[in-house]
Structure 1
């Protein structure tokens, strides 16, 4: 394998570079998403549809804590990309050391809190009725491994910041495959039920951590840290926090959305509606993997070239990423509009769920072709270290538009109003993103004579 350097981010043609960065990221996200998808199929067919709803209840809590690691990872990786772009490896190593310390301390505290209030959190997130007991079993076991997952998510973003997307891809692939094998062993062979599904998930976190640990201890990483780098540096912590808060806010909004959706849908349609949302939610994670891959590939390229003051390359990166993203999203849109019934049958044969899920899926993905603009716009501001617009664009879709709509529309359209909120919020958020991004390019990325 040819030696890959972070300096390539500022030299190779943008189209070629974006593909080289995005394809491994897309494959990694695809494998991880397939893992979640197949895991849900296994659970639905081997344990039952209630088990799918139970896992959906647990996800907001576990994902939020894990997102603390992602937030610290993305915030720190923006600093690392720009530090490498401006030839400052000392700051890059210090930032990475601070990321490790922050992730370890904060996630352990949140896990202790989450376990202490287990009986209050599960019902609050929709784990009511028959859903409560299986959700509690899954929640307790998965939470033990969440700090490890947080370190994995943090480390993965740093690997990408170094310009090593293939290793980031491997870090997602190995545990995903391991999780499926453990699913078969613990659920199908040993018949451990929900506990088996939970231990399979936790085991996959450990596999991911071992691979990432190997990467940073090997010669593949440019970041060679020592114990002095682990000591917290206040300016770096503040910068990680301001940029990472964008990612954390995004995941917090996702968790709040799950909480509200599970409760609203439970009141409108009971366990069936919650299960339908769980299936649609899995498709939201899975179907858009190439668009998320483009976004992940875009981040280190934009950050590095902005740090190197190569603004023409930054503009080209934005336009190329949006073009590729829209094309891929349009293909996904057609597939989901044509085959929602077939997709639903993969998860369950329950007649009520089969009736409710396909029309909901069509509504949820109705504005998919424009979603790349939202993702790239928010990612750009995060990559260049501008936390405020990044935060506003991250919160726009779900925080400013979607959450108000799921309270307003059901008053007029019932459960249909909940599903209608998805495309409406996508369109409104895209309009806001276009405004901010166009203004930023005009003010800061164009030569003075063109402004």
Structure 2
């Protein structure tokens, strides 16, 4: 018999709930981010700076495909949260079955397309000069694991929607530990180079898949893998697509940003600038893990209580999440501003990269304390099923501000124009998101 904890999302104090949801999510994101950081350290120290540049090019391309699973997971989890809030177990179960079919089918299709058009994809994402050869090796092997990653990204938000954040945390921790172990074995011990790094990554995806699969066939899950629910239903598929399209658009915009950044950085600073951004991009995910955890913990709480029509609790969850997220972001900001040189030295021994990265790192993280408003604001609309506002707010930073700034400012300021684009985009996106969220709260949650 499943252990039902989803009802607690509508009864327990918001602060307690948020901590219970956010801490496991934060730990999971921390370990996953640490895994990416360690992966970058290993290839940078044991293979060389071109390996960091190669991974910087490949990861956005492979994650664009895997993000199909993430989009289906987040979109479907929003439906499941609200269905559980309304005590509609049947809809939650049917939604889950549809999610599995959609994720696996689409991921396999796009992996095949990605392998057929390998050269075109790598060139598009910035595999220029000496970066291409290691990028090709890494890309082909990692693609074999992408269907498993897509299913993991589909299942993890559902685990959180059931009110089981600790299991969702373990699903992130296990593959991270596995990847670090196999990185060491394949790269340092067996001297397999980029191929070793790629196989370690693919194996880690499979480890995550095995744990997610076990969870949904165990007594701990309220939802089960049932063949009768694999029949696609138009209404459910449409709602998943509308809400998941927000996440897919976000990742798609991140991928477009990566294309623009990689080509701009290569044009103005060569392979070294691409390597510098590779370090910064890892730090963006690693350092911000507590704020991301707050955002992930917020989603099922807001979705469940909105479905249960407990609007005061929804409003309280927004306020507390922004307060906690901003406090954590301030701590992150202080660490980055004080220790950029020490952070850079961890990744590489290349003197040019060590000399140029700290200043870039400070500029990119300059307005970090503002990001909680962006994350919670966009997440709120996704949690309650309002796809269009969620989509627009999700695209605000990268799409409406950062990409145009990266295209324009370097023509006047060179590489500095790239780095200063990040804080400007953050300020503008926070102003837009804050205004829109405040207006919506006054209209619908009072």
Smaller-chain TM-score bracket: over 0.9
Alpha-carbon distance in structure 1 between the residues aligned to 2:93 and 2:225: 6
What SS does structure 2 have at the residue aligned with 1:12?
coil
Work out whether 1:436 is the aligned partner of 2:436. yes
**Residue 220 (structure 1) aligns with:** 220
**Residue 27 (structure 2) aligns with:** 27
**Residue 171 (structure 1) aligns with:** 171
**Residue 88 (structure 1) aligns with:** 88
1:125, CA displacement in angstroms?
1.1
User: Could you list the per-position Cα deviations for residues 277-308 of structure 1 after superposition, in whole angstroms to 9, with x for gaps in the alignment?
Assistant: 00000001100000000000000000000000
State the aligned residue count: 445
User: Could you list the per-position Cα deviations for residues 103-161 of structure 1 after superposition, in whole angstroms to 9, with x for gaps in the alignment?
Assistant: 01111111011101111111221111111110000000001100100000110010000
Work out whether 1:75 is the aligned partner of 2:75. yes
**Residue 131 (structure 1) aligns with:** 131
1:224, CA displacement in angstroms?
2.3
User: Could you list the per-position Cα deviations for residues 237-291 of structure 1 after superposition, in whole angstroms to 9, with x for gaps in the alignment?
Assistant: 0000000000000000101111110100000010100000000000011000000
What SS does structure 2 have at the residue aligned with 1:179?
helix
**Residue 231 (structure 2) aligns with:** 231
1:34, CA displacement in angstroms?
0.3
Alpha-carbon distance in structure 1 between the residues aligned to 2:225 and 2:436: 38
**Residue 425 (structure 2) aligns with:** 425
1:49, CA displacement in angstroms?
0.6
Alpha-carbon distance in structure 1 between the residues aligned to 2:258 and 2:286: 17
**Residue 292 (structure 1) aligns with:** 292
Equivalent residues of 1:401, 1:429 under 8 A apart: yes
**Residue 12 (structure 1) aligns with:** 12
Work out whether 1:405 is the aligned partner of 2:402. no
**Residue 116 (structure 1) aligns with:** 116
Q: Give unpaired runs (5+ residues) of structure 2.
A: none
**Residue 372 (structure 2) aligns with:** 372
Alpha-carbon distance in structure 2 between the residues aligned to 1:89 and 1:79: 11
Equivalent residues of 1:162, 1:221 under 8 A apart: yes
Work out whether 1:248 is the aligned partner of 2:243. no
Equivalent residues of 1:55, 1:135 under 8 A apart: yes
Equivalent residues of 1:243, 1:387 under 8 A apart: yes
Equivalent residues of 1:329, 1:372 under 8 A apart: yes
User: Could you list the per-position Cα deviations for residues 38-60 of structure 1 after superposition, in whole angstroms to 9, with x for gaps in the alignment?
Assistant: 01000100100100000111011
Alpha-carbon distance in structure 2 between the residues aligned to 1:258 and 1:406: 11
Equivalent residues of 1:305, 1:314 under 8 A apart: yes
Equivalent residues of 2:260, 2:407 under 8 A apart: no
1:218, CA displacement in angstroms?
0.3
Alpha-carbon distance in structure 1 between the residues aligned to 2:224 and 2:54: 42
**Residue 386 (structure 1) aligns with:** 386
1:411, CA displacement in angstroms?
1.8
Equivalent residues of 2:217, 2:225 under 8 A apart: no
Alpha-carbon distance in structure 1 between the residues aligned to 2:154 and 2:227: 18
Equivalent residues of 1:4, 1:164 under 8 A apart: no
Cα RMSD after superposing both structures: 0.9
Equivalent residues of 1:291, 1:372 under 8 A apart: yes
Alpha-carbon distance in structure 2 between the residues aligned to 1:363 and 1:206: 37
What SS does structure 1 have at the residue aligned with 2:145?
helix
**Residue 325 (structure 1) aligns with:** 325
**Residue 269 (structure 1) aligns with:** 269
Equivalent residues of 2:161, 2:300 under 8 A apart: yes
Alpha-carbon distance in structure 2 between the residues aligned to 1:92 and 1:248: 22
Alpha-carbon distance in structure 1 between the residues aligned to 2:70 and 2:100: 11
What SS does structure 2 have at the residue aligned with 1:90?
helix
What SS does structure 2 have at the residue aligned with 1:66?
helix
Equivalent residues of 1:94, 1:225 under 8 A apart: no
Equivalent residues of 2:298, 2:317 under 8 A apart: yes
1:3, CA displacement in angstroms?
5.3
**Residue 187 (structure 2) aligns with:** 187
What SS does structure 1 have at the residue aligned with 2:380?
helix
Equivalent residues of 2:3, 2:222 under 8 A apart: no
Equivalent residues of 2:69, 2:154 under 8 A apart: yes
Alpha-carbon distance in structure 2 between the residues aligned to 1:73 and 1:125: 25
Equivalent residues of 2:64, 2:252 under 8 A apart: yes
1:225, CA displacement in angstroms?
3.7
Q: Which runs of 4+ in 1 moved over 2 A?
A: none
Alpha-carbon distance in structure 1 between the residues aligned to 2:188 and 2:414: 39
What SS does structure 2 have at the residue aligned with 1:163?
coil
Alpha-carbon distance in structure 2 between the residues aligned to 1:255 and 1:387: 21
**Residue 42 (structure 2) aligns with:** 42
Alpha-carbon distance in structure 1 between the residues aligned to 2:130 and 2:425: 32
Alpha-carbon distance in structure 1 between the residues aligned to 2:69 and 2:236: 16
